[in-house]
Amino acid sequence: MLLTDVLATSAAVTATRSRTAKATAIADLLRRAAAEEVEPVTAWLSGEVRQGRLGIGWRTLSALSGPAAPEPSLTVLDVDRALAELAGVTGPGSAARRDALLRTLLGAATADEQHFLVRLLTGELRQGALEGVVLDAVATAADVPAPTLRRAFMLSGRLPETAALALTGGVDALVAVRLEVGRPVRPMLASPGSSLDAALADLGSEVTVETKLDGARIQVHRDGDLVRVWTRTLREVTDGVPELVERIRALPCTTAVLDGETLALDDDGRPRAFQDTMSRFGSDASDAGVLLSPFLFDVLHLDGRDLLDEPLAVRLDALAGLLAAEEHAALRMPGVRRPTPEQAAGVLEEALAAGHEGVVVKALDAPYAAGRRGRAWQKVKPVHTLDLVVLGAEWGYGRRSGRLSNIHLGARDPDGGEPLMVGKTFKGMTDELLDWQTRTFPELTAERAEWGLRLRPELVVEIALDGAQRSTRYPGGLALRFARVLRYRPDKTAAEADTLDAVRALLAGHPAD
């Protein structure tokens, strides 16, 4: 298969907002792909390279650009082999070797192929083919049940490999995928709940109500003395969190897969700023001045027994047994099982009084549906919050002159298109945040305008708001009411931002999703 075939499909996907049309176009291409081509094709149509981040920026690629090939000749495997070679270059002379490899690759590409490769390598290939659309396409191309495919993807955490399994081995290969200690599972996510009463009315009395921390999601795997820790995006951070490793290694088990959150606490046991917690997952990960505390709320595997498909009630019993000893009790996420309405309200009140965000209401009969936002888990906060994508920023005036201030906010298109603008805000910004935006946003610029910058849709910001209303002002047909910035979310990608459906759920009289 030629690279130009992938470009044609990419263009077709970009040209339509129909989720069905996108999936059909991708499925047609996957059917034509040879077995060894499925993984790279799937990765590229998801906007990624299967070798992971290669650390190649616009400046490098611009300096290496040269004459384009007159006719397409590059194959999918040619490009994949070149990327694999690039990923493997290390040591003395590596920069010159990488430049030579890139120059050869781009020199063999047509102008359109060069444009595609540059966007792919810099993480800016936006085709509207989000994960869900590609999964639909794989299920169609391989003629396998979508739930079976999603489960295999949940357990493997890797879309290209899952696609290859489906297209080469069918249902049997997908069913054979099992949870493996040491391989992270895509985390189950909670949907926003409109209120505690509404969540309880929706899920009934067979629920647990747990504290919602203002922390970072973690997934911890233990195999004997080996403990590994991943973030919600499945990025391993084990080396940067030795205190978490030590706490898990002390538990009375041999193998385990645990789900929870971690955050930094002050001397009074109250949560420190979210940025303090996140600093441990960035360049300051070794900062011993910020210690993290783990809070576990689920167990997916324990001493040889997989618990994914068990009801939450069974998983919580297993977790309670694991943390039964007094020295481990503090690791359990606070909460109450089968609470009365008064007890549930008490959990929320205590969580807020302790400085936490709110509560999560969870159905006790629900299995672990990894990688999905279902109704079985609903997070309730005293104010509505949404995780939105920053699409642009306007130059400020008056006291904010010379700084990027008013930001444009977009919700994710549930059908896989580009994020749709639903509002603007300059509220909630400190001077420090304004300075950070002014330093950072130019690096993400897609287009400069007299009023400010249009940005590549990469940054996620958490917004507090009073609700939403219908509006013709913005492409999404909705507008946020009294939106203000709470914080940026470096732990989330644009693909994890809230959808237009989540905004629509905040319309007066509209039931929450």
Closest CA relative to residue 180, chosen from 218, 212, 222, 217? 222
The conformational region for residue 123 under phi > 0 = left, psi -120 to 50 = alpha, else beta, is: left
Question: Given the DSSP bridges, would you call strands 452-455 and 445-449 parallel, antiparallel or unpaired?
Answer: antiparallel
pLDDT digits (tens, 9 = 90+) for 39-96: 999 999 988 888 877 777 776 777 777 788 999 999 999 999 999 998 888 888 888 8
C-beta of residue 489 within 8 angstroms of C-beta of residue 462: yes
Least confident piece of the model among 18-22, 284-288, 375-379, 461-465: 284-288
Q: Which of 212, 362, 379, 381 is catalytic?
A: 212
pLDDT digits (tens, 9 = 90+) for 128-171: 557 888 999 999 999 999 999 999 998 988 899 999 999 999 99
pTM of the model: 0.74
Q: Which domains does the chain have, with CATH numbers?
A: 3-175 (1.10.3260.10), 189-376 (3.30.470.30), 384-504 (2.40.50.140)
Tokens found for residue 231: 């973030």
Query: Could you give phi then psi for residue 133, rounded to 5 degrees?
Result: -65, -45
The residues that bridge with 471 in the sheet, in sequence order, are none
Query: Could you give phi then psi for residue 141, rounded to 5 degrees?
Result: -65, -40
Least confident piece of the model among 112-121, 166-175, 214-223, 360-369: 112-121
C-beta of residue 356 within 8 angstroms of C-beta of residue 211: yes
Closest CA relative to residue 370, chosen from 237, 504, 187, 239? 187
Three-state SS string across 254-310, please? CEEEEEEEEEEECCCCCECCHHHHHHHHCCCCCCCCCCEEEEEEEEEEECCEECCCC
| Secondary structure (DSSP) of 348-400 | HHHHHHTT--EEEEEETT----TT-EEEEEEEE-SSEEEEEEEEEEEEB-GGG
| Matching residue, tokens 């807020």 | 352
pLDDT > 70? residue 285: no
C-beta of residue 405 within 8 angstroms of C-beta of residue 434: yes
Q: At what angle do helices 76-87 and 94-107 cross, to 10 degrees?
A: 170
Q: At what angle do helices 159-175 and 38-45 cross, to 10 degrees?
A: 120
| Matching residue, tokens 């169609």 | 140
What DSSP designation does 430 have?
-
C-beta of residue 140 within 8 angstroms of C-beta of residue 27: yes
424 included as an active-site residue: no
Split at pLDDT 50, 70, 90, the class of 510 is very low
